[in-house]
Amino acid sequence: MFQEYDVIVVGAGHAGCEAAHAAAKMGSSVLLCTMNMNTIAQMSCNPAIGGVAKGQIVREIDALGGMTGIISDKSMIQFRMLNRSKGPAMWSPRSQNDRMRFAEEWRLALEGTPKVDFWQEMVTGLLVKDKRVIGVKTGIGIEIKAKSVVLTNGTFLNGLIHIGEKQFGGGRTGEAAAKGITEQLVELGFEAGRMKTGTPPRVDGRSLDYSKMEEQFGDENPEKFSYSDETSTLKKQRSCWITYTNKEVHETLETGFDRSPMFNGRIQGLGPRYCPSIEDKINRFAERDRHQIFVEPEGWNTVEIYVNGFSTSLPEDVQQKAIQKIAGFENCKMFRPGYAIEYDFFPPTQLKLTLETQLVDNLYFAGQINGTTGYEEAACQGLVAGINAARKVQEKEPFLLKRSDAYIGVLIDDLINKGTEEPYRMFTSRAEFRLLLRQDNADIRLTQLGHDIGLASDQRLEKMLEKKNETAKLINDLKQKKLDPETINTGLEEQGTAAIKEKITIEKLLKRPQLGLENIKTLDADINTYLSKYPKEVLEQAEIQVKYNSYIEKEQQMVEKLINMENYKIPDAFDYIKIPALSAEGKQKLHKIRPETLGQASRISGVSPADLSILTVYLGR
């Protein structure tokens, strides 16, 4: 009935979609297995993509040739660049999306990708022979052979939904949990754990009073995620709204705490620290009288509203009473209550940097199965797992991203070397080279790599090289072109910066914190004409490189030191147990994680600097 596939992807969420698309684009035959073809790329939580550090990840996925950025652009209803008041390392793109269109665009993209086949059914087990995966088994007993398998099960592995004292099996509301895979993996020697996440009620926008809320507009000149010409920026946008909880809301919520699965011990899994439920917020931050609520439309034409900030698993009657005490929600009608979901995950220290498991060859894990939270974190893991599954089948070198290459590299390195005991979310603070890993230069950093592996198109590469060359030419010109005091001093004083006594290059002038290229354009008509020839992204790139040049150079020097350690390979069969001078914890962690390089060993939690020195000596021998 079925051919033998190069790659089978189990699960069609954000990780599964990227894995299937990438592997097929690179020439592998792919079967995407999902329990429901109508929920491919479902936005299970909020209808938004990007945000702080997450937006950088989406740009990186796009630069490599992945699809999340393009799908986001095609389904976007609002765009905002967050943190514009801070330095460029912190600028983070974020979009509000039409939930139905996002899923539709992903399905159309996958159906339009040659070599992707689909199968709608639950996968209940793996076919494993001699510690190598050779296919999957489905609920009705069909066995499908494959050279590699990528598991992207999301919250479906033994998923358990909680609403107050009610609990029932499910991977998402209205969808069944996946049974059998966890138990088989544990039998094979994998360590499993439990995590939880939650979602807020969805409400009827027609029943809200927006006059009592603060309107949140999109950017005046919206950008987009994808560097390609396949998408365009928004011409119109939908607003979001902001309101707040109050003491009365909190008191009403507290009446349900005795029936809360979070407080009465029904939920065992750890929830996301940075996206807590509303009951968790009022319990942990009892001194606060109010918490912000973001009122987010679910699409262009639907009346459904996502109540961001009100995630809860309290009984539905308590949810209804409490939500109606929020300003603007007095007559709120609920479409469905919020709930918490508990699910199985596998500590990611059991993986290699390719996201292949250490215990079973050609088996890859991506997304929430690895303990992460968020569409973007899942999507980038799916991309890397799909790339590596395809490359292994094709007998090519693994595809690895270093911490200095991308936020994706930071995320995977953190997971493999440090593990996680709570849902892992990416932040800019996790990246030590964040001035190099900006959202504006992801194409310059990664498109060549994406092109080399057959994922990013020739057109993508040409576009990136043109931007890079134009930026270099502009920076060179800024170092040469000089401005005259008589021409620009009046303008400088109007901009709140000191006048000059002699001619000065534009580059030196640009280093002043008060001035950007847009300000400098106003100082001289000829310079304005010259700079206006360049596209916005080239001007922005040149300005950042000039202003932050000394800081960028320092980070580059740090990267070079790190690369020296990354180049120091550790043999596969190296026996850490036989090194008596290593600390007990160091031996245990090194033996378990089996780092591939000295650099990776240095980042393992529990491996001390002394352990590293001893290891260096032994490797030298």
Residues tagged in the binding site annotation for NAD(+): 271-285
For 139, the token pair is 């609920």
For 224, the token pair is 């987009």
For 151, the token pair is 């598991």
H or E element that contains 145? strand 143-151
* Sequence ranges of the binding site for FAD: 11-16
**Largest Cα–Cα distance of the chain, in whole Å?**
84
> Quick one: DSSP state of residue 422?
S
For 54, the token pair is 């997450």
Which residue in 34, 292, 357, 20 sits closest to 172, CA to CA? Answer: 34
For 501, the token pair is 């006594």
| Angle (nearest 5°) at CA 491 between 489 and 492 | 65
Residue 342: other Cβ atoms inside 10 A? 24
For 155, the token pair is 């919250």
DSSP, residue by residue, 373-388: -SHHHHHHHHHHHHHH
For 295, the token pair is 């009122």
With beta carbons less than 8 A apart as the criterion, state whether 246 and 147 touch. Answer: no
CA distance linking residue 229 with residue 387, whole number of Å: 24
* Sequence ranges of the binding site: 11-16, 271-285
With beta carbons less than 8 A apart as the criterion, state whether 435 and 89 touch. Answer: yes
Residue 419: other Cβ atoms inside 10 A? 20
CA distance linking residue 345 with residue 194, whole number of Å: 6
With beta carbons less than 8 A apart as the criterion, state whether 356 and 388 touch. Answer: yes
CA distance linking residue 10 with residue 153, whole number of Å: 7
With beta carbons less than 8 A apart as the criterion, state whether 182 and 344 touch. Answer: yes
- Encoded amino acid at 499, one letter: A
